C-alpha cells in the first residue's frame, strides 16, 4: 500500500509540475514557459546578489564552522555597502516590502552571514530605537471565537500593546530559504546582542522586532523564550 501511495503522490506532483530549484530555492512550474523564463531571470539575479567574493577589510564579528558573520556599517567602502543593499533588496522582495528605504539609513547596521560556499545566506538589519513592542506568544485558540475575537487575538498576539524600552530594533531578518532551520537566524541575533553596542551585551528584552511576519513571529517567540 505504501508503494501505491507513493505512486499517487509522484503522479500528483508531476501533474502539478512544481519544482524547487536547488540553487536559488525558487518554486516554479517547470512545465510553464512563463515560469521557466521567470525562474531563469530570478536565478541569475539571486545568485549574483548573494555571491560573496571576499573583501580586503572584512569586519568579521563571529566565526563558525559553516560560515562567518560580517558587519557592514553605513560609512564602509562602496562595495560593502552595495552588497548589503543587494541582499536587503532580495529580502525585501521576499517579505513583500514596497518601500526601499530604512527609517534611518545612516544608523543601520547590517549583519551578513556568509557560508563556506561564499554565499550570503543571512541578513539582519539592526537600528537604534527607544521603544518597541514585544512579540508575544501565541495564546491557545479557543473553539468558539468570533471572527472579531480572533482578529483581536491575532493582533495582540503579534505584539504587546504597551511600548517597552528597547535599545535595538530588528527591522529585517532574512535567511535564504534553502538554509533555514540551521540556527543561522539565532546566531545572527546572538551576534547582534554581543556586538551592537560597543562594550555592552544586550539582553533579549532589549531587542525588538518590527512588524514580524508569521515566520518571524515563530522565530522570535522561540528565540525570546530560550
Q: Which of residues 36-55 bind Zn ion (CB under 5 A)?
A: 43
**By C-alpha distance, which of 121, 124, 109 is closest to 67?**
121
113 binds, among ligand ACO, Zn ion, none (CB under 5 to 8 A by kind): none
Does 209 engage in binding with ligand ACO (CB under 6 A)? yes
Residue 127 three-state SS: strand
Does 215 engage in binding with ligand ACO (CB under 6 A)? yes
Q: Which of 46/133 has CB closer to Zn ion?
A: 46
172 binds, among ligand ACO, Zn ion, none (CB under 5 to 8 A by kind): ligand ACO
Measured distance CA(18)–CA(193) in Å, rounded: 40
**By C-alpha distance, which of 175, 158, 148 is closest to 221?**
158
Taking the CA atoms of residue 117, residue 118, residue 124 and residue 125 in that order, the dihedral angle to the nearest 10 degrees is -170
Q: Which of 45/149 has CB closer to ligand ACO?
A: 45
Q: Which of residues 156-195 bind ligand ACO (CB under 6 A)?
A: 170-175, 180-186
213 binds, among ligand ACO, Zn ion, none (CB under 5 to 8 A by kind): ligand ACO
C-alpha cell at 68: 562567518
Q: Which of 23/177 has CB closer to Zn ion?
A: 23
Strand partners, 27: 20
Strand partners, 60: 70
- Residues 6 or more apart whose CB falls under 8 angstroms from that of 15 comprise none
* Shortest reach from residue 106's CB to ligand ACO, in Å: 20
Instruction: Report the interface residues with Zn ion, using CB under 5 A.
Output: 21, 23-24, 43
Amino acid at each position: 500500500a505504501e508503494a501505491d501511495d507513493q505512486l499517487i503522490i509522484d503522479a500528483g506532483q508531476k501533474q502539478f509540475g512544481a519544482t524547487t530549484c536547488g540553487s536559488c530555492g525558487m518554486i516554479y512550474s517547470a512545465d510553464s514557459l512563463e515560469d521557466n523564463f521567470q525562474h531563469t531571470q530570478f536565478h541569475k539575479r539571486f545568485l549574483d546578489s548573494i555571491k560573496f567574493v571576499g573583501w580586503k577589510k572584512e569586519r568579521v564579528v563571529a566565526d563558525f564552522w559553516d560560515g562567518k558573520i560580517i558587519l557592514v556599517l553605513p560609512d564602509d567602502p562602496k562595495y560593502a555597502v552595495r552588497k548589503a543593499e543587494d541582499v536587503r533588496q532580495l529580502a525585501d522582495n521576499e517579505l513583500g516590502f514596497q518601500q526601499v528605504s530604512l527609517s534611518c539609513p545612516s544608523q543601520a547596521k547590517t549583519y551578513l552571514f556568509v557560508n563556506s560556499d561564499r554565499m550570503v545566506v543571512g541578513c539582519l538589519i539592526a537600528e537604534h530605537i527607544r521603544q518597541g513592542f514585544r512579540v508575544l506568544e501565541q495564546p491557545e485558540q479557543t473553539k468558539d471565537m468570533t471572527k472579531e475575537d480572533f482578529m483581536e487575538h491575532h493582533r495582540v498576539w503579534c505584539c504587546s500593546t504597551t511600548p517597552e524600552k528597547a535599545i535595538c530594533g530588528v527591522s529585517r531578518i532574512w535567511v535564504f530559504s534553502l538554509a533555514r532551520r540551521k540556527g543561522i537566524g539565532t546566531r545572527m541575533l546572538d551576534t547582534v546582542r554581543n556586538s551592537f553596542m560597543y562594550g555592552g551585551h544586550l539582553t533579549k528584552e532589549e531587542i525588538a522586532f518590527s512588524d514580524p511576519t508569521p515566520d518571524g513571529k515563530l522565530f522570535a517567540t522561540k528565540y525570546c523564550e530560550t
